[in-house]
Chains A and B, each alone.
Chain A
Amino acid sequence: MTEPLCRITDLSVRYRHNTALTHVSLDLIGGERLAIVGESGSGKSTFARALAGLLPDNAVRDGDIQWSSERAPRPGRDIGFVFQDSSASLNPVLRIGEQVAEGAKRHLGMSWKAAYAHAEMLLDHVRIPNPSAVMRAYPRQLSGGQRQRVAIAAAIASRPSILIADEATSALDTVVQAEITALLDRLVSEAAMTLIFVTHDIALASNLADRIAVLKDGRLVEIGPVSDILADPKSDDTRNLLAGHFDLTSAPLIGGQRR
């Protein structure tokens, strides 16, 4: 195996009163799609933020994140980040076009005109209807799923080599979700991007990732290729995430449906 893109050793993160991550060690492989799964509060967002250097002020970090590149990748330029809350990713007082174009202008050295054209194309890629009109809208004028997609477009606008997406598709309808998944996948295969995908949904993870890492109470309990994790989960926590899955064949919770 080639040298890892990033070696994480004994990463721990504490907030004022609680510990969110405890001694997490793993290697990131360049060009892979890694899903981070785990129950609510297990430390997924904390891990994602720590990796991107975007921890909030009240967090204390311990341990080592060693990048193979000479300088650590910079958030916004080398690392695209999509926050779990789209309202945290977007600036409420900036027009959509400006927010998406900004990264391309600043980091790809494009003129504003070229950056705007680039932004409009990206909005189209994330399936925003009527992108030229939406360019001039403000975040509050969009639906929740539209905002989430704009946040994805803004995160990939500077063509980052690493994209960290925190629950970026979890509130999207299944059709758009599948399209975004395909888009991210294209970026990985065509632009050699490394994708870190945080999700509570192990089914989504199994559709998108090469490897799955499972967190529980701030610890890494299991990491491996998707097929191994699904076929032969080593930990009870992984089995729980798999067992609770329900789909269109599961029994309804309510009795006798009415008309």
Chain B
Amino acid sequence: MSLLTTIPERETPPTLAPLRERARQALQRSGLPTKKTEAWRFTPVRHLLDRDYPKAEVVDTSAGWAAPGRDPRAHFRGAQLLALPQPQPGLKAYRAVEAPAALLERLGTVATNEHFVALNSVSFTDALLLVVGRDYDGALDLDYEAFGTSPAYPRVLIVLEAGARLRLVERAFGQSALSVPVTEVVLGPEASLDHVRVHSNEGALLGTLAVAQERASRYRSLVASFEGAPLRLDLDVRLLGPCAEAYLDGIYLVGDQAHVDHHVRAEHVAPHCRSQQRYRGVLDGKATAVFDGQALVRRSAPGSEAHQHSRSLLLSGRANVYAKPHLEIDHDDVVASHGATVGTLDEDPLFYLRSRGIPAPVARGMLAFAFLEELVNATPVEAIRSELTESVLARLPEAQTLRAHFEELP
């Protein structure tokens, strides 16, 4: 059965019925993206939609999943929410069936209800709803374990109350046919979220991460993508309250036939907000990357500052990048910059390294590593830095040698 026909009839809490209904209508109206949908021009999904999927399979929940010593965490295996974080002071976690109605009603209010978000909204089996209060200052891990041959629709809502702070690490890993995760985030006044999201799953992932920011909230994000079969992430940030800040970094490192597509959007609705996008990617083999960065400054947003830069490095002549930065500014009182570069490694540094005895393939690896490492070093969540560094090293040519060269000096 093709994707749209696998949508199951869900027994859901009545509070969710309006969301499901709106989503169903949106799907009927706009359907799923086609070749002609502008935002999906470079990432064709036809083959994913037409593929034959079995009905949702039962997940073995007995298999161990817990990695000891990690932060409080939630774990999706395929569509199933296997584990919720233990309750802690200031941290509340619910499944959809047990969540308070007022919280459930916020589901679907952050992400734009169309295409794959709508598909997720009609299809998710379980949702994770988190509320972080001011008295919680800690970390949280959120795992999306790709699993099985039927499509999975993980759904998450995270609400940071006024003044709350959270370090969040999302990891997509494992192997599956298709995963369509949607994460919605609300940052209350003066809340602060430091967020790293890692894509290293095999199989298709079409994800949405939508963030709504209230007054003086701060969002720092790093997206790191290492696989793409294909990978699509729509990162949508709306600055709704004055003086909110969003720092959006991203790295990708892919080879072979991988396809990664990052659509990053920062919309300034309130005055005196600041957004910054910095994306860097390295491509090898026949990989393809799309970077579509948008900064929108509305009439209602004087005193905005919006920056956006993307740089891609091609290690192979057969790799491809479509980089499209756009600024749309409806106000004069704005400081903005944008730029996109795509290039190969410079000959001069390469010659310099080689002239000091470093073999060409290692020298190339070192330069590619350095290119990404600048953003890895700026990770909003320090605890994940060495894990990211290792993920980058492991995927570069001459990984073994590079590891030795970059092993921390005493």
Bind each other: no
